[in-house]
Amino acid sequence: MTLPKGFGSGGAGGSSSADVERMIGRRVENMTGMITLSFIAAWLATFGGTAAGYFYYPWAYPTPSGHFAFIVLTIIEAIGYIFCVKVMEEGSNKNSNGLVAGVVGAVTIGTIMIALFVGK
């Protein structure tokens, strides 16, 4: 791999992971928290979008339609979250299966509660 000037072993060829980390600034294996917060924010934004239909435009956006859209979008977001975390940690010795399971489980319970009690 060719690195920009100032990185690497001075023309000797190879580059180490420390050089790449310095060049990028931060390794992606350490960004599980940011991806988790982004997923939760996206889920809350999805609820906010459907809640506008539940509460402000019920004549144009019936509750069953809103629940369906919310559930489908939540499933798509959860699959994307799992994919992002697993690809990000591929090849490293990090393991955040517990975090992913807890967050997806909490979002699942929240989605079920919203579908049961909001907009009725």
| pLDDT at residue number 3 | 57
| pLDDT at residue number 11 | 53
| pLDDT at residue number 40 | 97
| pLDDT at residue number 105 | 97
CB 19 within 8 A of CB 4: no
CA distance 42 to 56: 21
Among candidate residues 42, 112, 44, 102, the one with its CA nearest the CA of residue 77:
42
51 contacts: CB under 8 Å, gap ≥ 6: 118
| pLDDT at residue number 12 | 55
The pTM of the full predicted model, rounded to 2 decimals, is 0.75
| pLDDT at residue number 79 | 97
Among candidate residues 85, 78, 67, 64, the one with its CA nearest the CA of residue 106:
78
Domain positions in the chain are 28-117
